[in-house]
Amino acid sequence: MEQKQQTEYKLIKLIDGTELVGQISVSDNDKFLRIVEPLQLKTVARPSNFGMRDDSSLSPWLPFSTDKVFSIPKERVITIASINKDLSHYYEAIKKRLEGKPIKPPLSPQEMDKILRLAEQMEQDQITEEERRSMMDELSDEELDFLNKPTPRTLH
């Protein structure tokens, strides 16, 4: 019986603190390393009944890129490390889930303009509730999803 060869994934820490998981290739006489299908490892401290706990997740490093291989200047890398089997399996599971995820088409410039106009008008409170409902009824599901999407916050 032939045994399936285990793919070796690495954890790369960049000088900006970003941690990436993926397959890498490094050439001694090249100024870049290459990483295939990188996922960013994010760790967040969360309170639990037993004190603080670290929760980690993997997400696409550059979510709007269709590229699979990325070149990173070697001087931007602090360290490269092997990862344990649990993280390796988690990486493969997330990668497989992302591959099956349908890609939503981007909003057209007209749809974006429509959303921005509505948001500006609502912000300025220049429309009545009835006008707001009428404008909301004209939006497509994709436009409503975009409008109601929570704004990401960066805490320092």
Its pTM stands at: 0.61
Least confident of 12-16, 35-39, 143-147: 143-147
Give the separation between CA 62 and CA 70, rounded to whole angstroms. Answer: 10
Own/partner pairs for 97-106, CB < 8 Å, 24+ apart? 98/60, 104/142
User: If 0-12 CB within 10 Å is exposed, 13-18 middle and 19+ buried, where does residue 135 land?
Assistant: middle
With tokens 């100024």, the residue in question is 31
CATH number of 10-100, picked from 2.30.30.100, 2.40.50.140, 3.40.50.2300, 3.30.70.260: 2.30.30.100
Please tell me whether residue 98 adopts helix, strand or coil conformation: helix
Q: Which of 68, 66, 60 is nearest to 98 (CA)?
A: 60
pLDDT (tens digit per residue) in 51-79: 888 888 999 999 888 899 999 999 999 99
Bigger pLDDT: 145 vs 154: 145
Model confidence at 155, in pLDDT bands (50, 70, 90)? low
pLDDT (tens digit per residue) in 108-125: 888 888 888 888 877 765
